[in-house]
Each structure stands twice: as C-alpha cells, then as structure tokens.
Structure 1
Amino acid sequence: MPGIDDVTETATGHQVIQQYLRTLDGSPGVYRMLDAQSQVLYVGKARNLKMRVSNYARPSGHSGRIARMIRETASMMFLTTRTETEALLLEQNLIKQLKPRYNVLLRDDKSFPNILIAGGHPFPMIRKHRGKRSDPGSYFGPFASAGAVNRTLNQLQRVFLLRTCSDPMFESRTRPCLLYQIKRCAAPCVGKVSEAEYAGLVDDAVQFLKGRTTRVQADLAREMAAASEEMEFERAAALRDRIKALTQVQSGQSINPKGVAEADVIALHMEGGQACVQVFFIRANQSWGNRDFYPKIAGADAPEVMEAFLTQFYDDKEPPRMVLLNTPVDNPDLVQQALSQRAGRKVVVGIPQRGEKAGLVENAARNARESLARRMSESATQTKLLEGLAEAFDLDAPPRRIEVYDNSHIQGTNAVGGMIVAGAEGFLKSQYRKFNIRSDAGANSDDFGMMKEVLTRRFERLLKEDPNRESEAWPDLLLIDGGAGQVSAVHQIMTEMGVDDIAMIGVAKGIDRDAGKEEFHRPGSRPFALRHNDPVLYFVQRLRDEAHRWAIGAHRAKRAKAVSATPLDDIPGVGATRKRALLAHFGSAKAVARAGLSDLSAVDGISAAMAQNIHDFFHDKR
C-alpha cells in the first residue's frame, strides 16, 4: 500500500496506525505490521479490516505483547479477500513464509510418511512413501514417524507376505531371497504364488490397513479349515502361522480406540512462556503414532496458539474427518470451515467432554505436559552449558547461536563441507547446511582451501541477505575442527569479509589424538585445554562429533550418487522414471547404448522421438 503523506518515516505507534483508517473499509482481508526497517512484525486476518485496525489505533487497553508490537509499528500493508476463510488461509501462508516476530510459529513442519501399495504391477510392492501422493497406488497414513511406518510394514510382511523389493530387482530375481526363507514374502518374483493368490494377499493387507482385522482373521481361519479338510497340511500350517502373527499384532494394539475410526487428537500445554502440542494420529481405528511440536508462541494465549497451530499444520496436509482438541480456538466455526475446504469434505473440530474421545484427548494432554517438562529441563541444562562455554572461552555472553564447520572427502574426491547449528534449544537440525566443494581445493585435498570456500559462501550470503546483521541467522561463535593453522586461516578469511568480530575456536586433538585431551585455539592466544571431567569439554566434543557425522553423511551420500550415476543421467528428457524403465528393460546403460531404435521404442514410456533422442546421444558420443 502507498505510504501515508503525513506520517514520517521514523514515526511509530498507534498514531501511525490511525492514519490508515481513512483508506480502509469493512472488507475481510489480511494485514501486515512492519517496523522502521520494513521487517514484518505481525501478520493477522480480519473479518472487517477497518474494525480490526481501529483496535490497534487505541492508545491503551492492550496486552503487553500487543502494546510492544504497536510501539514498533512504522507502517502497514493490506490485502483484501472475498471471505474470512480465504483471509485465514492467506494469513497462515504469509506467516509460514515471513515468520513474523509476534506471530505463533510452527517451527517443525516436516512431511509425514505414508504406506503405499503401488499400482500398475501384477504383483504390487508395499513400501514407505513420503511427499506428494503422485505415484499410482493406494495410500494409507499419515504415520507420525518413519519408525511407526517401519513397525507397521514389518507386521504386514509377517502377516500378508507382500514384496518390498523394487521393480527392477523383482524382474531380475531367479531364486527366492532371504525374506522368503524367513516367511516375510510370498516370493511372487519366482512364481511361488499366483497372481490371483497374491491379489488376495494385497486385498487382505488393504482390509487390515482400513481397520477390518476381524474380517481378515475370520477369512484366514476359514481358509485354514478348508486346507485341513483337503489334507493340504503344509498350506494349513502356513495359514496358521499367519493367523498367529495377526493375533500378536492385534494384542499389541490394545490402546487402539474402538469408537474412533479417523481422527487427529491434538493437545496443547503451555508453561513458563513455552508450549508443546501433541498430535496423535488415529486411522482405521488404529493409533499410527504421535509427534510433539514446540511452536514459538510469542506471548499469545492458548486459543490463539491452538488456532495458529491448526491452520499452519494443515496448510499442506489433508485433515481427517475429526479433529479432537483439549483447548478451544479463537474462531472455531472459521477454523472448521477452513479445514473442511482444505479436505473437500466436512471436518468436525471439537472438544469432547466424556467417553472414549475424552480419554484420548486426556492422554494426549498428559503427553504434552510431560514432553514440555522434559524439554524445559533439557533447556535449563543447555543454558548452563552455554554459560559455562562463555566462561571457559572468555566470551562476552553465552552464545545464542553456535555454528560448527567440518569437511569430509577421500583423497579429494566427493569433497563436501558441513555446517551444524546449536543454541539454547540444542541442535537446530533444520538449519544444518551442506556445501559441495566447487573449487580445486577439493581435488587437491586442500583442507584450508575447502574451509575458505565454505565460509566465504556462507558469510557472503549472510552479508547480502542481512547486511545490518539484525537477524538471528548470524552466529555468536564459530567452532572449527582444527588447530592453530585452521584458526589462523579462518580468521584471515573473516577479516577479509569484514566480519572479524565473531568469536572463533579451533578444536584440535591433543596428545595421541585421544578424546578428552583436546586443545583449543583462539586467534592471538596460546592453546589451552579444559580439565578432563569438565561438562563444557563434553559439550564441545558433542558439537564437534555432530559436525563430523553430518559432513561424513553428506560425503557418503554424494559418493553413493556418483557410484550409481550412468550416462543416462546426461540425456535430455530422460528423468528418473525413464531411466528406471530403460535399465529394467535392458539391464545396463551399456546395453541401452548398443540398442537400436526399434528396441528403444519397445520400452514403456519411451516414444519414437525419445528413442531417436537416446539413440542420437550415444551415436554422437561415439
């Protein structure tokens, strides 16, 4: 929105906000409050923009959090929408994108895994799937974690004997694998089960994942009885083993609700300015795990936190038919309407008062309370460690953000730099970074050169994005894996970039390279050590080891990708799907290179034009 002529650039507060009332009407929409540096302080929605903004224009009657926000407001921006529901959805999109200081922020926003029974194959495989549901097949989920998916897949393998191997591996098998020997797969790859029999196994697995376990067990019992009458004792014994495995699975699901087929149970607990939200996933009358979240609440009350969590959590996820809460939300009808619009069907949002649903909510609330207590205890310990770190290394204050750097390579090949981040909340894994070494330093096994490249790329970007160093992305302390030489080189690099006021410490192995005998190096200071049982020493060791783990993991992933690379990767138009189809059909990239046009055109998904493109690529290569 254009600036207001009679408001100076440095003016802030409710008088600035009053100037905008002249240009607003009663439309629904979204507003943004910005500070003097045009940084977004807050994003909000309104059924009536003029009425909502007029509340901020009052000089008094605000909570401490809102009063601080108003005092910092130098300008505002507005977007009108057709409905309040649209405003709510737009508000949460902007919050996730801009991360304003005074909004409730859902910081952990990873996707949840599903189970996929793939389609398009006479013997469908079952596997874990994360991300968009773009592959053909039947999806079941979400599950709270990869562990919950893996446990369920293990159960399904024991009971229904479905294959988990990839299609190329399936096509190349000539004898059963180990999973068949330990009764975890029916071995359709070598004809141990017919297509019709395997389809029956798939149908049983689908019924199980839909919660119809009683029907599955009854069908298995009938089949076992029929096999016994026909004196097919080996088949009857196999069915008996499957019934036994299914019984064990059911006995382990005693916590599953009987009267709740599909719901997310969401409980909020707030204490000491922090919050924990527990989400339990109920699908097909089965508990598919739980996940805890710790949103940044910025002083908001419980109804506001719950509303913000729901709208941000379901921004890119399909809501279930029922969402059970322990805390009311600010606008229950609006939230329910937004979730229903997101799902394309009715979604019921409510707080149960009695019965099994209330018990589920109570259980989730207890878990939220206990999880927050553990986190606060860990946070207190972390705060003491940071204070000890500041004292041990003579820092001006406990660091809010520590960045630790390490490199990994094998004689210069697949060189990767790694950065991890830690702070008062422990390891901030969402802010870890990997750097593929682009310069000749990697090929020359030049650790100094690799560190220079990593730090230069890191801080040049920081200087470009935040030259005034106002964001929390700037570190207070750098930990470098190395001794005096590494520290001196890093100090020179940072000085050249004009950011030589960030404390840095080099961690070098001491005598015999034993853990516990580390030496610490600072620019212009003599090396020193900490006593063997100092908690700060253990803390620094954990930071260094985490950076080492992260860098090695990145290096191994890069090396594995290089090993699996083929000339097919360089052909325009040949992506992962066509590459898999070509390798499955011909067996190797070399065979693809030798294939004629007619052979290439016979591959599923390869058109005549694409076949010509592939043929020309290898012909030109020669």
Structure 2
Amino acid sequence: MSEMHSEQLLSEVAALPGLPGVYRYFDAQGQLLYVGKARHLKKRVSSYFQKTLDGTRIGQMVSRIHRMETTVVRSEAEALLLENNLIKTLNPKFNILFRDDKSYPYLKITGTRETYRTAGPKPVPSIAFPRMAYYRGAVDRRHSYYGPYPSAWAVKESVTLLQKVFRLRTCEDTVFANRTRPCLLYQIKRCSGPCVDLIDDAAYGRDVADAEAFLRGETQAVLDALEARMMGHAEKLEFEQAAEIRNQMSALSRVLHQQAMDNVSDKDVDVLAVKVHGGRACVNLAMVRGGRHLGDRPYFPAHVDDATQIDQALSEEGADAPSPAQDPADRVPVKVLEAFIAQHYLGVPMPHTLVTSHPVAKGLLEALSEQTGAKVNAVHQPREHRRIWLEMAQKNAEIALARLLAEEGSQQARTRALADALQLPDDQLETLRIECFDISHTAGESTQASCVVFEDHKMQNSQYRRYNIDGITPGDDYAAMKQVLLRRYGKIAEAIQAEAEGALTVKAPAAAAPAPEGEESQAEVATDAASGLPKGPRMPDLVLIDGGKGQVSMAREVFQQLKLDLSLIVGVEKGEGRKVGLEELVFADGREKVYLGHDSAALMLVAQIRDEAHRFAITGMRAQRAKVRTGGSKLEDIPGVGPKKRARLLQRFGGVRGVASASVEDLCTIEGISGELADAIYRALH
C-alpha cells in the first residue's frame, strides 16, 4: 500500500510524534477525505500504510491520499472536540457526518431577565406585562428562553397550554400598545386582558412567575402557590377570584394528567436511540424539558458504511481497538451514536443527563463535561419512566429509518427507470446528475429563471440557483431561457473546449467579487488545477427544460453555439389539456417524442424534478416582485440593516411606508436596532 505514496508523505508519517492529536487526509485535488483522532498519532496514522487493503473502502480512500495535515493536542478529550469540529465545518468524504441543524425553536418570555422589583409574595419583572412567543434566533439576555423544542408544533402546543392556564399575552408590542378593547383571546379566556388594564401588573407578574416555574418543571410548587391564593380569596369572601384560580388549577391538573410520563425528578433530559439497517442509520433525539416530554426528531448521518469500515479495519490492525466487552453487533450503532453526540452538542448548551440506547465512551462524556463546565452523565439500560422514554425513542427510530429506506428505494427505482427509458448508462446511477430549468414572471414583471439539481437519487437543495433575467422583452420566455442557459453553461463550455484543444492555461483564481444573490460567482466556475475542468457546476448528464418544442429549440440553439452535446437536452411537454401524467419528452437531437405512461416511475421522477424547478422559480419571483412593489430595496441599501433586521422592521410597521413614518424612538424598540442605527434608518428614509 505504501508503494503508491510519495516519499515525502511516508517520511512525514515516520516523523509523527507519539502524542494525542488529529490528522487530516487530502487527495491530489485538495479535497478533504478523512478526519481522525488518535491517542498515539504515529501508531494510528502508520496503520493506514502498513496493510494491503485493496478492494475495500479504506483501500480506495488510502490510495487517494496525496498529503496529510496533523495537529497535536494536550489530551484525548481535546482531540475528540477538535476532530468533530473539523468534521462539521469541512464535510470530509469518509467520515460519519450529521447535517448541522441546530435551528431549534424556543419559547420566549420577554423582559423577564431585566431588573426585578418586589410586589407581594413574588418578584415582578420591570416590564409590566411580558409577552410569550415562539422564537428562533440569537439569544438576548433581557429575555427568558425555554427549550429547545424539537419542532415548531411543540412550541405552539406549549404556548396554547400556557394561555389556557396562566393567560399570558401573545400579541405584538405595537398591537398591545394600541388596543382600546380586549381581543378575542380575552373573550375565550386565553388572555387576562393587560392591554386594557383588566389585570394589574403585580397580578400579571405572579402569573408570569408561575408560568416560568411550570416551564422549569416546578409543577407542585405552582399548584401549592395557586391553592394558597385560592384559599386566601375564599377567606376574604372573594369567591369569584377564588373560582378563577380553581379553574386554573383544574386546567393545570388536566395538563399534568395528559403528560402521563412526566416525572418531577427529571427536569432536562435528552433521550437518544440509534437504529442501523440497510447501510443507513437513524438517531432519534427525544427531548424532556421541565419534566415534560416535548417530542422527538430523527437524524440521518451520511457516509456510515465508509466510516465504519475504515474504523473496523484499523481496529483489527490494533490501533485504538474497541473494548473486548463490546458486542461486535453494537460497534456500528455505538460509532454512529458517539458521532452524533460529539457533533450535535459541540459548542451548544446541553442537558446534564443523556439516556442512550447504547453505551458511549467515557472519554466522550469527559470531553462534553469539560466543554459545558458541569458533569454530563449517560444512562444506559434505564429503569422506570426513563425506560419508557427510551423504548418510545427506539420505536420512533425504527419507524423513521424504515420510512427513509422505503423512500430511498423508490427513488433509486425511479432513477433507474429514467436511465432505462432514455438509454443512459446505469452503472453509476449515484452520480447521475440532472439539472432542470424553469422561467417565472407575472406579466413580464420580475422575471426569474430557476435551476434545480438532482443527484445521488435526491434533490440537492444547496446547489439550486436563481437567475435574475434582464435586457429582454418582458414576457419573452424564449429569450429568458436562452439567457439562463448561456450564463449557466457558457464558461463550462469554454473550459471543456480549451482542454480539448490542449490550450488551457491554469491560473490561480483571483478573489472574486460577491455574486448577486442566488447566482454563481466567478469562483464557482474557476478551473481545477489537476483536471483542468471547472470546479463548480459541471455538465450534467441530462438537462430538463420545462417546455415543449419552442423551449427545446431555443436550448438547441444555445448548445449548438456552445458546441455542447445536444442529446443532453430533454423538454417536458405538457399533454392534452395540461393533465398530469400525459406529459411527453421532447428531444433536441431529433429523436421522436416519448410518452412514458401515466404510471411510469421514470415520469414520476421527471415530474418531481420539473415541479421542484417550478416551485423554486415561483417563490423567487414572488419575493422579487414583493421587494420591488414595497420598496424593500430602500432598506437593503442602508448599511447595518440585514435580512433579519429588515424583516423585523417590515413586520412591526407593516411595510416600508410604516417604517418611514416611525420615529427614531419607535425604531429603537426593534430588537437589534441601536439608537445610532435607528437614526441612520430615519435619515435614509427621509
């Protein structure tokens, strides 16, 4: 195996120290192949080059290693954290990789972290009537946040619950400040009406404090406090007030009864169950917050087969071997679970207790404890209510994985059916790349073209592109199609032709200017120093055009101009009456039309890609049109006003006109807008 590597690389391996660290392998094109950690760098890295691994996945990976980078660290825990940080940020090809999805929603109660004053037996926040709301985004220390929740539905369910029991307001501050009579929520007993002074700030503050205690899991304390207040009103013969509190207690008791698996001894716990089958894996994360089971969310890692085979081969070699007590059948689930824990909790707050379906390494828990500053425990083979939680998570993991395998199986069948129908090579269907274009506008206004990409049996959202079309007669779809195809494939065609002529001169690409939103930059079409082909978009195996003969003729004209293969172009022509299932495929190279049949798996895939291109074009066109009509670009031109702040301004004041009519003081009330920025916005709009 070492014969295929350079002397420089092998000498670097021989010179490695026997210390803990992280290593990274790159191929000849500079693509990151693998990131690993080691207690003993020299022993671990040397094991890759000391054994014949031909015909295996690790052999394929090792044969591509061109250079190596290493980082020595102080401890194995530090190596583990660095390894997973690099995996998350660099997306290596052969590591178990979980999609970085930390966009969890929270329940926010505004203003409760500011200075408190005392009113009666409980503290009341300085903001007289805090608001509760669904929230995603950066944390502001002035407010209280509860969660995270696994889904938006779980947050909204909790908001509804708190409305029923504690009657906290959910309206925007601008609405709250301008109410002259109570809204419908007051009428149906979901709000106590603070907007029109139907409750004083001290009583409302007690409700806020009770709601926060409930969210922290202090349910018995809340019930005791409510009972004491009820008895106090009864002793004063204030029976209406006592009845109101009695109703609150009844509502809260019903909620606690519905949450049958609640347990006051467990406040914040994450339950993790892993299931591996058919070369795929699912980690199901169930969240318990404040003693309440809030729901779960499945995660599906990439590269499971590659990473686990590499790890197994190296373990058999004796480098970082697993514990003898570990069941061989559990090795892959344990590796997947440990990868999820390391990547998911990296740099974010986490509960101090994890309930897991498989045992995890002590070193991982020590690293997480070091990161959080508090001891993190993992409970394997739990009892009582924790066992019920884990069994639920395991069942949901099995269901989610079975659904994924069924969907992937049908998608792969569709890809194969399309390849057979169009006589495409079927030996590498995973790399079959299809790009589809669509044009969208409203009577010629805000014309946009969309390009969506299908590869590896699924839509590749990160590779979608939108193109703003200008310089054409409004409503001319043919001219729009010509423009987008020239822009998409022009530079790729130039690179291909230059390589074929042997005249390609490779230069280091200069720093490119930022591209317009949704379009490819110059960097994306820079050439690869090793292959001479473009680094970014490559020529697809199929170009789908949403249209019939006219659109296909325009595409043929563009491809002839660029000297590209006409057989790549396929038009999707709507059938009689534009009915779904009657579409026909039109070819640019002179082949006869093809009708695949309304129940054809190939037609289902074509329709799926075509509909996604249409959806993507429509949403982009509508956003562009709305921006033009509302004058949103005026706000975009103001330094310091990004998409989030602009959205908050437009939402609060109802559009650019409302923002323009607002005072500097009103603008300062928007989250994230300082006095200096508010003054700049005011001056820019006047």
Q: How far does residue 246 in structure 1 lie from its aligned partner after superposition?
A: 2.5
- Cα contact 2:452–2:464 (8 A) shared by 1: yes
Residue of structure 2 equivalent to 1:283: 289
Q: 1:554 to 1:471 in 2, by over 3 A?
A: closer
* Counterpart Cα distance in 1 of 2:647 and 2:98: 38
Q: How far does residue 231 in structure 1 lie from its aligned partner after superposition?
A: 5.4
* Counterpart Cα distance in 1 of 2:538 and 2:216: 45
* Counterpart Cα distance in 1 of 2:599 and 2:678: 67
Q: Which moved more, 1:524-533 or 1:70-79?
A: 524-533
Among candidates 288, 300, 305, match of residue 298 of structure 1:
305
Q: How far does residue 104 in structure 1 lie from its aligned partner after superposition?
A: 0.8
Q: How far does residue 418 in structure 1 lie from its aligned partner after superposition?
A: 3.5
* Counterpart Cα distance in 1 of 2:417 and 2:648: 58
Q: How far does residue 165 in structure 1 lie from its aligned partner after superposition?
A: 2.2
Residue of structure 2 equivalent to 1:555: 621
- Cα contact 1:406–1:418 (8 A) shared by 2: yes
- Cα contact 1:17–1:57 (8 A) shared by 2: no
Among candidates 158, 172, 179, match of residue 178 of structure 2:
172
Among candidates 65, 68, 72, match of residue 60 of structure 2:
68
Residue of structure 2 equivalent to 1:162: 168
Q: 1:498 to 1:124 in 2, by over 3 A?
A: farther
Residue of structure 1 equivalent to 2:325: none
Residue of structure 2 equivalent to 1:520: 585
Q: 1:592 to 1:114 in 2, by over 3 A?
A: closer
Q: 1:348 to 1:452 in 2, by over 3 A?
A: farther
Does 2:437 match 1:413?
no
Among candidates 598, 616, 627, match of residue 532 of structure 1:
598
- Cα contact 1:386–1:424 (8 A) shared by 2: no
Q: How far does residue 291 in structure 1 lie from its aligned partner after superposition?
A: 0.9
Q: Which amino acid aligns with 1:556?
A: R
- Cα contact 1:15–1:57 (8 A) shared by 2: no
Q: Which amino acid aligns with 2:95?
A: N
Q: Which moved more, 1:516-525 or 1:458-467?
A: 458-467
* Counterpart Cα distance in 2 of 1:602 and 1:370: 50
Per-residue displacement from partner, 1:286-327 (whole Å, max 9, x unpaired)?
A: 112111111111331333322222211122432211122222
Q: 1:14 to 1:434 in 2, by over 3 A?
A: closer
- Cα contact 2:14–2:46 (8 A) shared by 1: no
- Cα contact 1:416–1:434 (8 A) shared by 2: no
Residue of structure 2 equivalent to 1:349: 378
* Counterpart Cα distance in 2 of 1:230 and 1:502: 89
Does 2:18 match 1:26?
yes
Q: Which moved more, 1:129-138 or 1:538-547?
A: 538-547
Task: Give secondary structure in 2 for the equivalent of 1:287.
Answer: strand
Q: Which moved more, 1:22-31 or 1:411-420?
A: 411-420
Does 2:455 match 1:390?
no
- Aligned residue runs from structure 1 range 75-224, under 5 A: 75-107=67-99, 109-119=101-111, 121-134=127-140, 136-224=142-230
* Counterpart Cα distance in 1 of 2:481 and 2:214: 53
Q: Which amino acid aligns with 1:318?
A: P
Q: How far does residue 219 in structure 1 lie from its aligned partner after superposition?
A: 3.2
* Counterpart Cα distance in 2 of 1:219 and 1:108: 42
Q: Which amino acid aligns with 2:39?
A: R
Structure 2, unaligned stretches of length 5 or more? 115-126, 309-331, 492-519
* Counterpart Cα distance in 2 of 1:262 and 1:290: 14
Q: How far does residue 226 in structure 1 lie from its aligned partner after superposition?
A: 4.5
Q: How far does residue 210 in structure 1 lie from its aligned partner after superposition?
A: 0.9
Q: What TM-score do you get using the length of structure 1 for normalisation?
A: 0.84
- Cα contact 1:319–1:339 (8 A) shared by 2: no
Among candidates 254, 257, 271, match of residue 265 of structure 1:
271
Q: Which amino acid aligns with 1:371?
A: A
Task: Give secondary structure in 1 for the equivalent of 2:420.
Answer: helix
Q: Which moved more, 1:263-272 or 1:80-89?
A: 80-89
* Counterpart Cα distance in 2 of 1:413 and 1:587: 23
Residue of structure 1 equivalent to 2:357: 326
Per-residue displacement from partner, 1:488-510 (whole Å, max 9, x unpaired)?
A: 33344455556647834322322
Residue of structure 2 equivalent to 1:479: 544
Does 2:402 match 1:373?
yes
Q: 1:69 to 1:181 in 2, by over 3 A?
A: same
Q: How far does residue 143 in structure 1 lie from its aligned partner after superposition?
A: 1.0
Per-residue displacement from partner, 1:103-142 (whole Å, max 9, x unpaired)?
A: 1111352421111112264322211222332463111111
Q: 1:185 to 1:63 in 2, by over 3 A?
A: farther
Residue of structure 2 equivalent to 1:464: 526
* Counterpart Cα distance in 1 of 2:363 and 2:378: 10
* Counterpart Cα distance in 1 of 2:538 and 2:380: 39
Residue of structure 2 equivalent to 1:448: 478
Q: 1:351 to 1:388 in 2, by over 3 A?
A: same
Among candidates 245, 248, 255, match of residue 251 of structure 2:
245
Per-residue displacement from partner, 1:477-524 (whole Å, max 9, x unpaired)?
A: 333321122223334445555664783432232222222322322212
* Counterpart Cα distance in 1 of 2:414 and 2:659: 58
* Counterpart Cα distance in 2 of 1:607 and 1:382: 50
Q: Which moved more, 1:546-555 or 1:516-525?
A: 546-555
Structure 1, unaligned stretches of length 5 or more? 1-6
Residue of structure 1 equivalent to 2:280: 274
Per-residue displacement from partner, 1:326-362 (whole Å, max 9, x unpaired)?
A: 2234xx2331122223323222234235444344333
Residue of structure 1 equivalent to 2:462: 431
Q: Which amino acid aligns with 1:388?
A: A
* Counterpart Cα distance in 2 of 1:375 and 1:253: 29
* Counterpart Cα distance in 2 of 1:356 and 1:250: 15
Q: How far does residue 30 in structure 1 lie from its aligned partner after superposition?
A: 1.8
Per-residue displacement from partner, 1:455-491 (whole Å, max 9, x unpaired)?
A: 5555555543766479998643333321122223334
- Cα contact 1:35–1:73 (8 A) shared by 2: yes
Q: 1:575 to 1:505 in 2, by over 3 A?
A: closer
Residues matched between the structures, number: 604
- Cα contact 1:382–1:424 (8 A) shared by 2: no
* Counterpart Cα distance in 2 of 1:534 and 1:578: 47
Residue of structure 2 equivalent to 1:4: none
Q: Which amino acid aligns with 2:437?
A: Y
Does 2:397 match 1:363?
no
Q: What TM-score do you get using the length of structure 2 for normalisation?
A: 0.77
* Counterpart Cα distance in 1 of 2:377 and 2:534: 45
- Cα contact 1:28–1:48 (8 A) shared by 2: yes
Q: How far does residue 423 in structure 1 lie from its aligned partner after superposition?
A: 5.0
Q: How far does residue 594 in structure 1 lie from its aligned partner after superposition?
A: 7.9
Per-residue displacement from partner, 1:127-160 (whole Å, max 9, x unpaired)?
A: 1222332463111111111122222222222222
Q: Which amino acid aligns with 2:552?
A: V
Q: 1:200 to 1:108 in 2, by over 3 A?
A: same
